[in-house]
Structure 1
Amino acid sequence: MKRRGSDPAAACLAALLSLPALLSLPAGTAWAQMAADPAAAEALFREGRDLVAQGKLPEACPKFAASQRLDPGYGTLWNLADCLSRTGRTASAWAAFREAADMARRMAQDDREAKATRRATELEPQLERMTLAVKAPVPGLVVKRDGVLVDDAAWGVALPVDPGKHAIEVTAPGKAPFTTEVTSAGPGKTLTVAIPALADAPAGATAASPAGTGAPSAGTSGPLPDAPSASSDSGASTRRTLAFVSGGIGLAGVVVGSVFGVTASSRWSKARDEHCRTETLCDAEGVALTDDASKAATVSTLGFIVGGAGIAAGVALFVSSLGGGDDKPQAARLTVAPAVGQGSGGVLVLGRF
């Protein structure tokens, strides 16, 4: 069984849509995400399917998840969502089905979008939710559920959670941590977890200084004025690495945009010259050619947009990494504008450095 269809435009579009997310990742993570391994993804997918056939669903779900991370595709995501649903992880399955529906919509695959949307809708009445009610927010307060950070915008919001037990951990600078374990309330119900005001940390405990602030510890005179900052050097190095990552993504996007732009132009021309009497009156092959040309043009446009954004981000990151010490580099200002037409495509990048 193959993991996804054979439509190259759809596969390329899926890859392009995932590229902007790489720009927000740390350098090491970005390189890891770029190192897609379709062969390993296919092997993991097949192993997951074999485990499903053997009734070993709890072992199959991680295989599908790993395959999806290595080489994202609708087929893998659908099987992961179905596996999660069959093992009772309703919230995770609901989110995966919704993501699959969004992917299908971007690919203009209406039947797949409807199929995934229907499964997500069927799960909604079964969802169990949890509200984390923070009574006394303080600066630096961190709330985690099952080891995952809960953004402060989500405090007080009923969020879907998988059924079962969940660990809540709350910390803040100078405060004693708060931890508890709760169990979800059941299908269709919401559990509210009250996060109390944190008590002050014991008198003998001292909070660590924030990284990179250069704050001197007690009994010292602080860092020498001319001492190099290791965190500053590390930050500059990270920005340079991200600059090359972003630039590489940008160049890849421009190449993809160019290739699919030429393909779109070629198919438009063939349809117009050989199969269409007017712009709206075409034979069956002409209709197919114009449809293919439209899809290729969409991929081309996205390619140039992602490419331009990647190149712009790469330049900005590289320029920002050049400064050292107290000398701050001049802010880079860049404007990226795609320029795509029926027969051609390009990207306009304007900048001041």
Structure 2
Amino acid sequence: MKHAWMVFVAAVLLAVGSGQASAQSAEAEVLFRDGKKLMAKGQYAEACLAFEGSFKKDPVATTLLNLADCREKNGQLASAWGHFVEAARLARGQGAIEKSAQDRADALEPKLSYLVVAVPNDVRVDGLVVKRDGVPMDPAEWNRKMPIDGGHHTIEARAPAHEPWSTSVEVGTSGDEKSLTVPAFRAMPLRTAPGTGMTGRRKLALGGWALGAVSLGGALAFELSARSSYDDAKAATTNPARRSAYDTANDRRLYAGVALGVGVAAVAAGTLLWITGRRAAPEAVEVQASVGRDMGGVTVRWDY
């Protein structure tokens, strides 16, 4: 019984997969025919899109061969050459198709244009990304003569904490060779407050000190008030009055402890901000304060 159930499930999955494959093949065939019609009309850009879509749905060598032919007629020689090479690989062992693709690739290779994007060792900062027409280049492609379609191309490079760089180059359709070099990166300048020349971190330091001064002043005021309430408790003549005075004193001492913790933390954070005001901003600053009736504590954590 179990074996029969497994056979049934496998049959269902096979039928579903077969149905999906059939649908993909049908869509691929429609796109392929549209590509042929558009090629006949000389609408090469649109035809190439149709062939490309057909190949994605049904990756066969004949479709890729037609896409390569389309790219060549559209003046995209490097793309065409790459497609011919790949079509020959896909058609390996298929005789005439493999030979046709390889012959076309061999005939096209001498006509290719090339671009060298030079990235010297002394400009390779951490996190460097070099893009060609918006697509990141593999570092293995740096400093190498790589085939490229003719036309206008944009090269850009970015690295953390450095100013971005970009340029453009015009490459001929056939037989052209261009080269460009990524220059040394400049570190991004520190941001300063307009008109003062003071870094943003030192402005925060001043704010921290101001908050610390207010908090410490409040702590002193609560402490003096708490001592006054303790004196009142000692002078009280009845237990209810004494207990009320002690409760008030304890509450005010608690408030004094909280204000003291906040004040110390703010002053400590402000001091760190001022001392390190010439460096890049920290990733995170965390200030924690814990105060109780019997104990208090302040924790400052500084992450870069």
Compute the TM-score of the two structures, normalised by the length of structure 1: 0.47
Structure 2 partner of 1:173: 160
Match for 2:286: what amino acid? Answer: T
The size of the alignment, in residue pairs, is 178
SS of the residue corresponding to residue 284 of structure 2 reads: coil
Which residues of structure 2 form unaligned runs of 5+? Answer: 1-20, 193-199, 201-281, 289-304
Task: Select the residue among 194, 198, 206 that pairs with 2:185.
Answer: 198
Structure 2 partner of 1:14: none
- Deviation at residue 38 of structure 1 after TM alignment: 1.9
C-alpha distance in structure 2 between counterparts of 1:158 and 1:35, whole Å: 42
Structure 2 partner of 1:109: 94
SS of the residue corresponding to residue 219 of structure 1 reads: strand
Percent identical residues: 43
1:217 aligns with 2:283: yes
Q: Is the 8 A contact 2:87 2:101 kept in 1?
A: yes
1:139 aligns with 2:205: no
- Deviation at residue 39 of structure 1 after TM alignment: 2.0
Structure 2 partner of 1:80: 67
More helix by share: 2
C-alpha distance in structure 1 between counterparts of 2:158 and 2:96, whole Å: 46
C-alpha distance in structure 2 between counterparts of 1:92 and 1:110, whole Å: 23
C-alpha distance in structure 2 between counterparts of 1:51 and 1:162, whole Å: 22
C-alpha distance in structure 1 between counterparts of 2:173 and 2:73, whole Å: 17
Match for 1:190: what amino acid? Answer: E
Structure with more contact order per residue of length (Cα contacts < 8 Å, sep ≥ 6) = 1
Q: Is the 8 A contact 2:75 2:173 kept in 1?
A: no
Q: Is the 8 A contact 1:78 1:96 kept in 2?
A: yes
SS of the residue corresponding to residue 37 of structure 1 reads: helix
SS of the residue corresponding to residue 77 of structure 1 reads: helix
SS of the residue corresponding to residue 196 of structure 1 reads: coil
Task: Select the residue among 166, 170, 185 that pairs with 1:183.
Answer: 170
- Deviation at residue 50 of structure 1 after TM alignment: 1.3
Which residues of structure 1 form unaligned runs of 5+? Answer: 1-33, 207-215, 223-353
- Let me know the Cα RMSD of the aligned residues: 2.4
Match for 1:204: what amino acid? Answer: R
SS of the residue corresponding to residue 52 of structure 1 reads: helix
Larger Rg: 2
Larger deviation, residues 190-199 vs 92-101: 190-199
Compute the TM-score of the two structures, normalised by the length of structure 2: 0.55
Task: Select the residue among 13, 32, 42 that pairs with 1:45.
Answer: 32
Structure-2 change in CA distance of 1:50 and 1:218 (3 Å): same
C-alpha distance in structure 2 between counterparts of 1:187 and 1:127, whole Å: 5
Match for 2:99: what amino acid? Answer: A
Match for 2:161: what amino acid? Answer: G
C-alpha distance in structure 2 between counterparts of 1:68 and 1:121, whole Å: 22
Structure-2 change in CA distance of 1:116 and 1:173 (3 Å): same
SS of the residue corresponding to residue 72 of structure 1 reads: coil
C-alpha distance in structure 2 between counterparts of 1:43 and 1:130, whole Å: 37
